[in-house]
Chain A
Amino acid sequence: MTAQDFDADAYIRQVAPLLGLELDAERRAAVAAFLEIARGMAERLEAAPVPAGCLDLAPVFLPGGE
């Protein structure tokens, strides 16, 4: 998805009710600004040359602990 074809307001209107969040137009506009910042970060992550075909995640889960 490129900067031109992402509609932050439409995305928020679709996803927020799924999560039980009620956001009026003023809130949506404010949240959209932060969503755009996060999207820029996500694009940077997408561009990182991480080897394909594996998904080594940072958190380690150790079963058996309390």
Chain B
Amino acid sequence: MELDAYAPAWRIAAAVAAGEASAREITLAALERMAALDPHINAFTDVTAARALADADRVDADRAAGRPLGPLAGVPYAVKNLFDIAGLPTRAGSRINRELPPAAADGALPQRLSAAGAVLLGGLNMGEYAYDFTGENAHDGACRNPHDTTRMAGGSSSGSGAATAAGFVALALGSDTNGSIRVPSSFCGVFGLKPTYGRLTRHGSFPFCDSLDHLGPFARSVPDLAIAYDAMQGPDPRDRACAARPVSPALPGLEDGIAGLRIAVAGGWFATDGMPEAAAAVAAAAAALGAEREVEIPEAEAGRAAAFIITNVESARLHMANLRTRSGDFDPDTRDRFLAGALLPAAWYARAQQVRRWYHDAVMRLFREVDVLIAPATPFPAPRVGQKTVAIRGAEVLLRPNIGLFTQPVSAIGLPVCAVPVTGGALPIGVQVIAAPWREDLCLRAARELEACGVAGFTRPLL
């Protein structure tokens, strides 16, 4: 069985289980590729090579002894550096957190992936404290897009998108508060899953905004995304927001197709006029899924505003002590936003949580008549590193506040979304496949349909 750097996780695990490849040789190949190519991309901030080889050897020893192997046996993966990695300070993209003592144990989700046999290769670059859509970072340097290293990887899970697209790892973990899984997925041309708020435990990860933080996987194929997602499900009382729901595996129904599903295109706030790449991606996905109907997600703009205020206030509160005493140690691109968030009137925050509830209820009514919604993931493909403005609908506007235009209203109410890279453009760009809460299975089924018919999929970069 031939395994190259872009082999899917399921194939790697099958080869390891069959004895056609060892976890050690797969790990060594990934480490060599990272050493050769990551200096051009800057996806990794920490490489845990010794630990990775020890973990790989354990997988190989289990196989040799005839012990059962997990569904991700020998699969290389890495995590955004806001996940705890035993022995490393959880830097969360910051300079300040590097002074923290090393984590005593891995975060809960890396523990679950490792228990499934996956091999952790290290921590990944990210925007400071996850308050970012670009992948730029004043402390660790910008994470660059493997498809064009003059361009942004997207943030804040920049290294997660870039390491997956560059073939360093088959799986990566990231976080998404307002779009930080979906934006780098779109820019780097990989699949990403932001599950329902409360589906996956956040224990052992550094927070950004408690009301809106989600964690989730990146992969180059939908089956890989489903396998990783299934391996990470399950309640965890250590995260109060984690729902006490039973595991609901998505993999068994992944090939069930879309027959009987009511699929519509999101209009209104999600309209793509004047955004040719995004419009083409949505049109291709809609045609492939037979989505002829357009529906308006009610009050999406208000939902986005609620997410903005909630994020600004909660994240500023989290960092208040450091804002008081050492604001100069923050990345200049996040510092002034945190400071502004610290000053917002309480009435704005309460209103935001009120509008969020009301917006949620309105969208739940929409899901009585629709099962799956298609929306653009980003308004445009990856901008250039350092770019400050962008043309949208004929007007030159600030880049950073507009990257999350389409992702923010969806995560504001915790809906499950699969970011799906649509093929055919000069640069990658993705769509969002959105379903009602707890229906990740529908997101993944529709994404799989797009992948199977060739409208969506990972395209190898020229590295």
A31 touches B350 (CB 8 A): no
Question: Contact: A65 with B302, CB < 8 Å?
Answer: no
SS class of chain A's interface: helix, strand, loop or mixed?
helix
Whether B305 lies near A41 (C-beta < 8 A) is yes
Contact A38 B341 (CB under 8 A): yes
- Min CB–CB distance B317 → chain A (angstroms): 10
Contact with B along A26-55 (1 / 0, CB 8 A): 010011011101100110111110110001
B354 at interface by CB-CB < 8 Å: yes
A56 near B357: Cβ-Cβ < 8 Å: yes
Query: Which stretch, B141-149, B332-340, B389-397, touches the partner chain A?
Result: B332-340
Question: Is B57's CB within 8 Å of the partner chain A?
Answer: no
B302 to chain A, nearest CB (A): 4
Using an 8 Å CB-CB cutoff, how does the interface string of B299-340 with A read, 1 for contact, 0 for none?
Answer: 101100110110010000000100110010000000011011
- For residue A46, give the distance in angstroms from its CB to the closest CB of chain B: 7
- Tell whether, in the assembled complex, residue A58 and residue B360 are in contact, meaning their CB atoms are under 8 Å apart: yes
Given A12-B343, A30-B336, A35-B343, A55–B354 Cβ distance below 8 Å? yes
Residues 343-356 of chain B, each 1 if its beta carbon lies under 8 Å from chain A, else 0:
11100101111111
| Interface status of A21 (Cβ within 8 A of chain B) | yes
Residues A38 and B340 in contact, CB atoms below 8 Å apart: yes
B177 CB, nearest partner CB in chain A, Å: 14
| In the complex, B401 has a CB within 8 A of chain A | yes
CB distance from B306 to the nearest CB of A (A): 6
Establish whether residues A42 and B324, one from each chain, have CB atoms under 8 Å apart when the complex forms: no
Query: Which residue among A11, A19, A45 has the maximum number of chain B CB atoms within 10 Å of its CB?
Result: A45
Given contacts A41-B305, A44-B302, contact A58 B357 (CB under 8 A): yes
- A31 contacts B343, C-beta separation under 8 Å: yes
Evaluate whether A58 and B240 lie within 8 angstroms (CB atoms) in the complex, with A31-B340, A35-B340 already known. no
Shortest CB distance A9–B (Å)? 12
Check if A57 sits within 8 Å of B302, measured CB to CB: no
Closest to B356 in A: A58
Residues on B with C-beta less than 8 A from A21 are 323-324, 327, 339, 342-343
Q: Does chain B have a CB within 8 A of A10?
A: no
Number of contact residues on B: which range applies?
35 or more
Contact B309 A48 (CB under 8 A): no
Among B301, B323, B353, point to the contact of A58 (Cβ < 8 A): B353
Q: For the complex, is B260 an interface residue (Cβ under 8 Å from A)?
A: no
Instruction: Report Cα–Cα, A65/B236, bound state, in Å.
Output: 12
Chain A neighbourhood of B343, CB < 8 A: 11-12, 15-16, 19, 21, 31, 35
Give the docked Cα–Cα distance between A15 and B340 (Å).
11
B211 part of interface (Cβ distance < 8 Å): yes
Q: Is B237 an interface residue (CB 8 A)?
A: yes
A5 to chain B, nearest CB (A): 16
**Chain A residues positioned under 8 Å from B211 (CB to CB):** 58-59
Question: B324 contacts which chain A residues (CB < 8 A)?
Answer: 19-22
Closest A-chain residue to B340, C-beta based?
A34
Report A39 CB to chain B, min CB distance, Å: 8
B309 pairs with A42, CB closer than 8 A: yes
Nearest CB in chain B to that of A14: its residue = B343
Could you tell me if B358 and A38 are in contact, using CB atoms closer than 8 angstroms? no
A61–B308 Cα distance when bound, in Å, is: 22
Task: Find the B residue at minimum CB distance from A16.
Answer: B343
Instruction: Name the contact of A45 in the complex, choosing from B240, B302, B312 (C-beta under 8 A).
Output: B302
In the bound complex, residues from chain A placing their C-beta under 8 Å from that of B320 are 19
Compute how far the CA of A15 lies from the CA of B301 in the bound complex, rounded to whole angstroms: 29
Q: Which of A12, A42, A50, A65 has the most CB of B within 10 A?
A: A42
Residue of A37, A48, A58, A66 near B302 (CB, 8 A) is A48
Q: Across the interface, do B352 and A45 meet the contact criterion of CB distance under 8 Å?
A: yes
Chain A's closest residue to B328 (CB) is: A27
Residue-wise interface mask of B (263-299) relative to A, using a CB-CB cutoff of 8 A (1 in contact, 0 not): 0000000000000000000000000000000000001
- A26–B336 alpha-carbon span in the complex (Å): 11
With CB as the reference atom, state the residue of chain A lying closest to B303. A48
A48 to B351, CA, bound (A): 10
Interface pair A27/B336, CB less than 8 Å apart: yes
Q: Are B308 and A38 in contact (CB under 8 A)?
A: yes
Report the separation of the CA atoms of residues A30 and B330 in the bound assembly, to the nearest whole angstrom. 14
Residues of A within 8 A of B353 (CB): 57-59
User: Counting chain A CB atoms within 10 Å of each CB, which of B301, B305, B345, B348 scores highest?
Assistant: B305
Add 12 more A-B contacts to A27-B327, A56-B357 (CB < 8 A). A22-B324, A23-B339, A27-B336, A31-B340, A38-B341, A42-B348, A42-B351, A44-B302, A50-B355, A51-B358, A58-B360, A59-B353
The 7 closest A-B pairs by CB, nearest first: A34-B340, A41-B305, A58-B356, A44-B305, A57-B353, A30-B336, A48-B302
* A to B CB contacts below 8 Å, 8 in the list: A33-B336, A34-B312, A35-B344, A38-B308, A45-B305, A45-B351, A50-B355, A58-B353
